[in-house]
A = this chain, B = another copy of it.
């Protein structure tokens, strides 16, 4: 039997729990998994239990991780720091710890700082999510076809690495090894910058005295571009503050791109606008086609 402690039973933790218990997951090497859940929010824990995302509820961190082969920290990134510190004295040698947070440099540094020798660590980040939060929004298919980033850790024993890959594959995702600094730079551009643009859109339009009238006309385009602004504010604040340097660079790149568009627009530069819009469409269409191939495979 593989014993998994799931710390944090919200959207991501709950979805991992559900995904690990599908028939497809049970058909693989993780056929015999026991999931113990823990969440400081007792209501969240109860919901995860009622939805069968976890097999049992722990009353404390210590109870959750006792005898665990794998501890999954599915919380906002700042909470990972607190948890690693609190867990350090509770973990038996040979336990493997992973997280699901959106930034990896600081998480790896905290793991190196707090975890005792003998406890393995591998940072993880499933590239999937929803703007809804909590165990009620969890879905067994959230990770289906998704890339699941894993940060290589030479200190981790081969069986720890193998267990991590089995978990990732069991939830329907694809293991993707990437250095933590590179991961953080990349996700700043393709995940955290989109969040800031989404938020900037909502802030810009809602400051208008006409917003309540304007908002009646807002339709599918506004809905999609603004979607990320409905995400969990605390999670996003943590992400931004643990990935500051990379994100600042991307904000500058986005402002530059906007001002370039503004320049062409203000000078009626039809051909330049055409070329820019064509280019963006080609890039985005190519990305989408590639993604569809990836999700289908």
Contacts and interface: CB of A to CB of B under 8 A. Distances in A.
Interface of A: 127-130, 146-147, 149, 176, 178, 182-183, 185-187, 189-191, 193-208, 210, 213-231, 233-234, 236-237, 240-241, 244, 247-248, 250-262, 265-266, 268, 270, 273-274, 276-281, 283-285, 287-288, 290-291, 294
Contact of A257 (B200, B281, B290, B291): B200
Contacts of A217: 127, 147, 149, 176, 178, 183, 186-187, 190-191
A261 B214 CA distance: 23
B248 A204 contact: no
B262 A258 contact: no
A186 B213 contact: yes
A178 to B, nearest CB: 8
A214 B190 contact: yes
Q: Which 8 A-B pairs give the minimum distances between C-beta atoms?
A: A233-B277, A194-B225, A190-B218, A200-B257, A204-B253, A127-B219, A203-B257, A202-B280
Given A199-B276, A203-B260, A230-B281, 15 more contacts: A127-B219, A186-B210, A191-B219, A197-B200, A202-B284, A203-B276, A204-B253, A218-B291, A224-B227, A230-B288, A237-B277, A241-B268, A244-B266, A248-B266, A251-B265
A259 to B, nearest CB: 7
Nearest to A183: B217
Contacts of A259: 255
A265 B248 CA distance: 8
